[in-house]
Amino acid sequence: MERDVSIRLGVVGCGSVFWTPYMNLIERLRGQGRVEVTAVYDADPEKRRAAAERLDLTPELPDDLAVCTHPDVDLVMVLTSMPEHARLARAALEAGKHVLVEKPVATSLEDAEAVLAAAEAAPGHLLCAPHILLSPSYRAMHARVLAGEVGGLLSARARYGWAGPDWGRWYYEPGGGALFDLGIYNVTSLCGFFGPARRVTAMTGIAIPERVVQGERIRVQADDNAHVLIDFGDARYAVVTTGFTMQKYRSPCIELYGTHGVLQMLGDDWAPEGYELWRNDKAAWEVYPEADPTWPWTDGLRHLVECLETGVEPVTRPEHAYHALEIMLAAQAAGADGRAREITSDFPAPDLARLGEVGGHHRVHDPRSAS
Amino acid sequence: MERDVSIRLGVVGCGSVFWTPYMNLIERLRGQGRVEVTAVYDADPEKRRAAAERLDLTPELPDDLAVCTHPDVDLVMVLTSMPEHARLARAALEAGKHVLVEKPVATSLEDAEAVLAAAEAAPGHLLCAPHILLSPSYRAMHARVLAGEVGGLLSARARYGWAGPDWGRWYYEPGGGALFDLGIYNVTSLCGFFGPARRVTAMTGIAIPERVVQGERIRVQADDNAHVLIDFGDARYAVVTTGFTMQKYRSPCIELYGTHGVLQMLGDDWAPEGYELWRNDKAAWEVYPEADPTWPWTDGLRHLVECLETGVEPVTRPEHAYHALEIMLAAQAAGADGRAREITSDFPAPDLARLGEVGGHHRVHDPRSAS
Amino acid sequence: MERDVSIRLGVVGCGSVFWTPYMNLIERLRGQGRVEVTAVYDADPEKRRAAAERLDLTPELPDDLAVCTHPDVDLVMVLTSMPEHARLARAALEAGKHVLVEKPVATSLEDAEAVLAAAEAAPGHLLCAPHILLSPSYRAMHARVLAGEVGGLLSARARYGWAGPDWGRWYYEPGGGALFDLGIYNVTSLCGFFGPARRVTAMTGIAIPERVVQGERIRVQADDNAHVLIDFGDARYAVVTTGFTMQKYRSPCIELYGTHGVLQMLGDDWAPEGYELWRNDKAAWEVYPEADPTWPWTDGLRHLVECLETGVEPVTRPEHAYHALEIMLAAQAAGADGRAREITSDFPAPDLARLGEVGGHHRVHDPRSAS
Amino acid sequence: MERDVSIRLGVVGCGSVFWTPYMNLIERLRGQGRVEVTAVYDADPEKRRAAAERLDLTPELPDDLAVCTHPDVDLVMVLTSMPEHARLARAALEAGKHVLVEKPVATSLEDAEAVLAAAEAAPGHLLCAPHILLSPSYRAMHARVLAGEVGGLLSARARYGWAGPDWGRWYYEPGGGALFDLGIYNVTSLCGFFGPARRVTAMTGIAIPERVVQGERIRVQADDNAHVLIDFGDARYAVVTTGFTMQKYRSPCIELYGTHGVLQMLGDDWAPEGYELWRNDKAAWEVYPEADPTWPWTDGLRHLVECLETGVEPVTRPEHAYHALEIMLAAQAAGADGRAREITSDFPAPDLARLGEVGGHHRVHDPRSAS
């Protein structure tokens, strides 16, 4: 795809999510002449300066909105702390920009609704993280589910957790917690396979009351441990297990139990290591190695750029992110009082088939040296 | 252990649980001169006759109580359908017998209470299935948890399900269902590791409304799909996933997440295939092969016989079975209305250490030919 | 298959191979009314008496030949020490009996030739251990190789070893050693897949010069460590790794590399735990669980009995055993002087397809309780 | 490590080994200010120009020797085709340069001897690929072998093969072949664990006589299939299985069988994925995840640069490479006539402990985003 002009990126928020993960991908796209970064901003002057220096930009923007409305920016990447997501995404959309916003799109349903309404009214695309539906393993599994290879889905388990960060106090303060930091991945993945949820309940709480973060002992004030039950209708259920309470695992990250078989993803849904398929009529586990072991969880940026280049809509839809947010908030509420919550929002089925078929890779010999 | 006289068994219920699983073990114990079967009964005259013939007994007992009170019986095995368990166990205890009762000990808390009260008042031992705490893998894991090798337990997952029987309509009729047939194993296992539960919620339902059983299409009337969340206090949670909705799996049956490591059982808790241990300070998965790949889930009988031979109490306690029953009933209730239930009963920690240490087995070369 | 009369077995050699492994199978066949044991002999009077007592037989046969020529015997099982195999098999065949002989059929090519000639001339069937071609996993893999599912076989690895017995000094004395005790399994397996070998070389030696056997320190005088290279013609090679020098393993027992895929057996070829198949055009590992986890390596007896019942020839042929012997002897010679040896004998392709298709087993739920 | 001046690299040979694998590492080292590239040459003018352009260099060097003797070069990287290795390495050493030479250091023992003699006489360091002893998994396993954790090594298997390149005809022409392209890795690895070999035999040949390379059907003229047996003295043996005849594998790349345990490397020795350890006294498999999943097989360059920065000798010694070459040539000879060859050269034990301890990594959460 030859292009005369590359897409101009504006970045708001230059923390750890920007530095290495997104930066790696930006560099690769820049090397291909597909993007350039024209504006950056971070509330922290030091981070602001570091990013500007790295990108050969002037750091002298007055505030975050200056990126969102910058005349030399086509696509705004909202990578700030969670509470700012909705405001910035909305501002950028209203300024006519395309927007990639990190998860969650908002921290309340009202704010999320406002962002989606802005996207509806504006010319730009809105792409909400996580981008996990784009991974080759997810897409291959999704195609198999759609094709009925394991029959109708009846039950599922998903898990994503770890020991928890020993940096960043905000993870353990109100507004942080494992559910929004980790659980949202599995929730997004499962809804992509099952369709919209109908009901949610959960157990959530603080299992490790004190931690050492950045060398200091702190009191944990946000839930670090959670199990979420999701009802997808017709007595089809799934559970998401998450927490800063899991030192390690050695189990599939997603297990989908269908009427005629089982599909499970290895690794994590944001870093898949292939998948496994059981079909009763084959009576064998088929183990599919990861088609792209270097697939980055920032891949939504590449997807959005490609959509802009080719003039099509992104396959991941803002309604999916809204729905996941409703589930997360319902899980928090149910975790507080032990009562299941109905889920009312909906989202269109993701059209992953449009991305093409996921290939095998038996001749790739040295993936670590891939350019 | 030389004994002058072997223990005399009376069997009530000669269905599929009696034929092969318990019968295999009875034969082995009989070969060692430790037991003999002196009375059998089944409501079905044909099954009654088949069992009597196989055991060289006269089939002519008038009813099930005749086994429970039989003068030539020391130990009554209650292997009937679930609704009869409590009545028969109680009758046998009151007749001064030792009792092994299949799960569940009763189908209501009132009945269970009555059985436990009878055991309390009577001289005989009461041993309630499942016997899964006796497996070498369970015992080895339990010892490691007690020794603090993974730190304090914070979170857990367990699963046991399969495609479901294509025989026996009662599995799918009211009083049947996956929760009591399958879920009780995981619930019993988890409580053995965590201690008493404090709260329960669940999602349960009928995911496959019609099935073919014994060649006939039937309507399913009992829940075949369930996820149960258990709160063990202090924000420590576990989930049990079960159902006649799982065609196959390839994941640990139990995952225990502690503050400093992870322990997980392979296979099923009623048929373990070893276990795995992660400790942060070792930074390796230690994979322990099954110490006894032929361990039978009927092993409670051997244990009870040994306790009688040596004059000690069984390590698995009726209060544990009562507690599991309270959890199961609470899960059913929560599944119906979406509201978590408090759990009030308690049980003493199982003293599995008394059974001795579980050995390794690297020199066993041909386990299939083991006598 | 109803039969008026069961097949009458005579057993020569009542050591560890007879006790549990073959005895288990004999009991099962006896329970089905298919065999009875009518004569036993062992050079050791105590073993002789124990076997006779267990089988309700008079122990008073004068010598081993008395079993081979016994008028009430249809099928002679030669389970003695290796040097006696050829003499006894031949005597039994010449007496008109069917013969099952443990491996190796003889310890020299001359003796083996004489046994095969006797079988040719006599009416009885000769079945030579090992019986590993009969396992469900072997048969399934063999069918796939024949069907060309991995293309033409080009290369292979096989391994079978362990720490070595701490009983039985003869394993470590001249005439013993790892090659004939262990290596013969892999050699037999590989030839079954590739067809006749054309050339052999090897490294063999004594890696652990002293051992404790039955509590006593002994000097090892037979090779306990060996790698055998086999040339199957057209630059297609395989290696067999064996020894009393392998404490444990965790790798496939057989790996077959074809032009378009790979097939590998899990477990051991005498105790398979399923198999794995890679096909380039599927780009997935297909993992086939063991169809019969209780398959016994003594299964040749059942096969021979079935052949007698149905009037057909056994599918495992004496020429295959002869060929394996030639390879083993060539490996010993090459191990001594470092020079490859040509292999001249041949054997017909085993017609395993005649045994029918190997089924899957996804509905087997409790294999340990199988009757 | 602060340095005033970075090390100046000269590159001879700008083929596929230079482009991505070494180039990736050079860029990383350049980013750290540790190296710069000051001279490049390739016999092919187009490759020469591409490399020069990428590195902002003038392409106008007259020949390969001009790099070896270039006044602005400290370290010469010899990445040409195999026959040129010895000549160029020697010229660079004699010009006072440090040298990194790709495998094999030479194609005859005479040439290799000359290179080693030049290194001996000259001030520069000579580092010969492969660099696999430097990987974290190799080092961790090596330390365990030295510490006697599996007892004395008795037997081993190693494998490295694949479907073979469908580019580059030279792989299949005289001077190419699987042994030198692939087998040398396993040979180098095994000698690092066992010490010097004493004897070698092999089977080698052309198993796939015709192939399609770069769209054209060619006749294969170099051995594409090989098994090599190595005798490490005292009846301790290993086998290396290699070939362009292996479509895929799923087995450890190296298995080391000791008197008291087993050690095995997962993945490939040039791209390890952790290792497994069995110790009889622990009776468990300990599975160590890869400490650095991004470790590149070009790591020798980083090591040599570090040695120059800190003024110490490289831990991988030229004598080791010479010894591996003697084994490879002996394997070729034995493959041709079926006769084992004595090995006479020696090499000092690699002092990998000097590189420090290999750490665990249980807190690494997102290795794909590592900078």
Q: Average pLDDT, stretch A251-279? A: 98
A33: exposed, middle or buried (C-beta count within 10 Å: 0-12, 13-18, 19+)?
exposed
Check residue C360 and give its pLDDT: 55
For C289-299, how does the pLDDT look when each residue is reduced to its tens digit (9 = 90+)? 999 998 999 99
Could you tell me if C280 and C95 are in contact, meaning their C-beta atoms sit under 8 angstroms apart? no
C291 φ/ψ angles, rounded to the nearest 5 degrees: -70, -30
Check residue C279 and give its pLDDT: 97
- In one-letter notation, the amino acid at residue C98 is H
Do A287 and C282 lie within an 8 Å CB cutoff? Answer: no
A365 band by pLDDT with thresholds 50, 70 and 90: confident
Nearest-by-CA chain D residue for C151? D247
Check residue D363 and give its pLDDT: 55
Q: Average pLDDT, stretch C211-236? A: 97
C-alpha span between C35 and C33 (Å, rounded): 6
pLDDT exceeds cutoff 60 at C180: yes
- Give how far the C-alpha of residue C322 lies from the chain's centroid of Cα atoms, to the nearest Å: 12
3-class SS of residue D370 = coil
Could you tell me if B247 and A278 are in contact, meaning their C-beta atoms sit under 8 angstroms apart? yes
A1 band by pLDDT with thresholds 50, 70 and 90: very low
3-class SS of residue D301 = helix
pLDDT exceeds cutoff 90 at A54: no
Check residue D366 and give its pLDDT: 76
Residue pointed to by tokens 């490289």: D314
Of C163, C225, C280, the CB nearest to D247: C280
- Joined together, the tokens standing for residue B226 give 């369930």
C2 band by pLDDT with thresholds 50, 70 and 90: very low
Q: Does C251 touch chain B (CB under 8 A)?
A: no
Do A282 and C282 lie within an 8 Å CB cutoff? Answer: no
For residue A33, CA distances in Å to A30, A309, C258, D50, D227 come to 5, 12, 44, 19, 48
Do B154 and A243 lie within an 8 Å CB cutoff? Answer: yes
pLDDT exceeds cutoff 60 at B363: no
For residue C44, CA distances in Å to A24, C15, C214 come to 77, 9, 18
Q: Does A280 touch chain D (CB under 8 A)?
A: no
Tell me how close the Cα of B291 comes to any Cα of chain D, in angstroms.
10
Nearest-by-CA chain C residue for B267? C366
Tell me how close the Cα of C286 comes to any Cα of chain B, in angstroms.
13
C-alpha span between D287 and B150 (Å, rounded): 17
Q: Does A164 touch chain D (CB under 8 A)?
A: no
Higher pLDDT, B201 or A31: B201
Q: Does C247 touch chain B (CB under 8 A)?
A: yes
Check residue D370 and give its pLDDT: 56
Nearest-by-CA chain C residue for D158? C157
| Helices within C14-135 (DSSP H only) | 23-31, 45-54, 64-68, 85-94, 109-121
Of C225, C250, C257, the CB nearest to D235: C225
Check residue C139 and give its pLDDT: 98
**What number of C-beta contacts closer than 8 Å exist between A and D?**
45
Q: Does A283 touch chain C (CB under 8 A)?
A: yes
Q: Does D206 touch chain C (CB under 8 A)?
A: yes
Of A24, A362, A370, the CB nearest to D248: A362
C-alpha span between A340 and C193 (Å, rounded): 59
Check residue D5 and give its pLDDT: 76
Angle between helix D184-194 and helix D318-337 axes, rounded to 10 deg: 120
Higher pLDDT, C162 or D371: C162
Do D369 and A166 lie within an 8 Å CB cutoff? Answer: no
Tell me how close the Cα of A25 comes to any Cα of chain B, in angstroms.
31
Average pLDDT of chain D is 94
For A83-139, how does the pLDDT look when each residue is reduced to its tens digit (9 = 90+)? 999 999 999 999 999 999 999 999 999 999 999 999 999 999 999 999 999 999 999
For residue D259, CA distances in Å to C164, C202, D138 come to 11, 21, 20
Do A247 and B257 lie within an 8 Å CB cutoff? Answer: yes
Neighbours of chain C (3+ CB pairs under 8 A): A, B, D
Check residue D2 and give its pLDDT: 45
pLDDT exceeds cutoff 60 at A363: no
ipTM for the predicted complex comes to 0.95
3-class SS of residue D112 = helix
pLDDT exceeds cutoff 60 at A370: no
Check residue B370 and give its pLDDT: 56
Q: Average pLDDT, stretch C110-120? A: 98
* Residue segments in chain D with a per-residue pLDDT below the cut of 50: 1-2, 362, 371
Tell me how close the Cα of B123 comes to any Cα of chain A, in angstroms.
42
Full-prediction pTM beyond 0.90? yes
pLDDT exceeds cutoff 90 at C358: no
Of D155, D206, D227, the CB nearest to C246: D155
Nearest-by-CA chain A residue for B210? A259
Tell me how close the Cα of C62 comes to any Cα of chain A, in angstroms.
54
For residue D116, give the H/E element and its range: helix D109-121
Indicate if the alpha-carbon torsion angle B69, B75, B80, B84 is positive or negative.
Answer: positive
C-alpha span between C260 and A204 (Å, rounded): 51
C-alpha span between D243 and D164 (Å, rounded): 8
Do B226 and A246 lie within an 8 Å CB cutoff? Answer: no
C-alpha span between C297 and C183 (Å, rounded): 15
Instruction: Name the strands in the sheet holding C7-12, side by side, starting at the edge strand that comes first in the sequence.
Output: C35-41, C7-12, C75-78, C98-101, C126-128
Of D207, D361, D349, whose CA–CA distance to D290 is shortest?
A: D361
- Joined together, the tokens standing for residue A150 give 């394991």
Nearest-by-CA chain A residue for D248? A362
- The long-range contacts involving D44-53, CB below 8 angstroms and separated by at least 24 positions, are D44/D14, D47/D14, D47/D15, D48/D14, D50/D14, D51/D11, D51/D14, D51/D18, D51/D19
For A280-321, how does the pLDDT look when each residue is reduced to its tens digit (9 = 90+)? 999 999 999 999 998 999 999 999 999 999 999 999 999 999
Tell me how close the Cα of C300 comes to any Cα of chain A, in angstroms.
27
Average pLDDT of chain C is 94
For A189-205, how does the pLDDT look when each residue is reduced to its tens digit (9 = 90+)? 999 999 999 999 999 99
Tell me how close the Cα of C300 comes to any Cα of chain D, in angstroms.
30
Neighbours of chain B (3+ CB pairs under 8 A): A, C, D
pLDDT exceeds cutoff 90 at B360: no
Residues 208-227 of D with CB under 8 A from C: 208, 223, 225-227
Do C284 and A288 lie within an 8 Å CB cutoff? Answer: yes
C-alpha span between B206 and B173 (Å, rounded): 11
pLDDT exceeds cutoff 80 at C312: yes
- Joined together, the tokens standing for residue B269 give 């808790």
Check residue D183 and give its pLDDT: 97
C-alpha span between D126 and D124 (Å, rounded): 7
- Joined together, the tokens standing for residue C368 give 């340990």
Tell me how close the Cα of D371 comes to any Cα of chain A, in angstroms.
6
| Residues in chain A closer than 8 A to D296 (CB atoms) | 368-369
C-alpha span between C263 and C156 (Å, rounded): 10
Do D206 and C258 lie within an 8 Å CB cutoff? Answer: no
Name the DSSP letter for residue D192: H
- Joined together, the tokens standing for residue B219 give 């309507």
C155 φ/ψ angles, rounded to the nearest 5 degrees: -155, 155
**What number of C-beta contacts closer than 8 Å exist between A and B?**
170
Check residue C1 and give its pLDDT: 40
C357 φ/ψ angles, rounded to the nearest 5 degrees: -85, 150
Of C120, C76, C118, whose CA–CA distance to C101 is shortest?
A: C76
Do A362 and C286 lie within an 8 Å CB cutoff? Answer: no
Of C159, C257, C193, A370, whose CA–CA distance to D244 is shortest?
A: C257
pLDDT exceeds cutoff 70 at B223: yes
Q: Average pLDDT, stretch C143-166? A: 97
Could you tell me if B264 and B189 are in contact, meaning their C-beta atoms sit under 8 angstroms apart? no
**Does residue D104 have a cis peptide bond before it, meaning omega lies within 30 degrees of 0?**
yes
C-alpha span between C141 and D248 (Å, rounded): 17
For residue B368, CA distances in Å to A297, C270, D214 come to 47, 10, 52
- Joined together, the tokens standing for residue B283 give 């930074």
Check residue D299 and give its pLDDT: 97
Average pLDDT of chain B is 94
- What is the bridge-based pairing of β-strands A98-101 and A126-128? parallel
Check residue B2 and give its pLDDT: 44
Do B289 and D288 lie within an 8 Å CB cutoff? Answer: no
3-class SS of residue A357 = coil
Higher pLDDT, C129 or D60: C129
Tell me how close the Cα of B368 comes to any Cα of chain C, in angstroms.
7
Q: Does D260 touch chain B (CB under 8 A)?
A: no
Of A315, A318, A290, A291, whose CA–CA distance to A302 is shortest?
A: A315
pLDDT exceeds cutoff 60 at C361: no
Q: Does D147 touch chain B (CB under 8 A)?
A: no
Do A237 and B161 lie within an 8 Å CB cutoff? Answer: no
For residue C130, CA distances in Å to B301, B350, C327 come to 38, 47, 15
Tell me how close the Cα of C260 comes to any Cα of chain A, in angstroms.
11
A113: exposed, middle or buried (C-beta count within 10 Å: 0-12, 13-18, 19+)?
middle
Neighbours of chain A (3+ CB pairs under 8 A): B, C, D
Q: Average pLDDT, stretch B10-34? A: 93
For residue C290, CA distances in Å to B161, C136, C147 come to 20, 8, 20
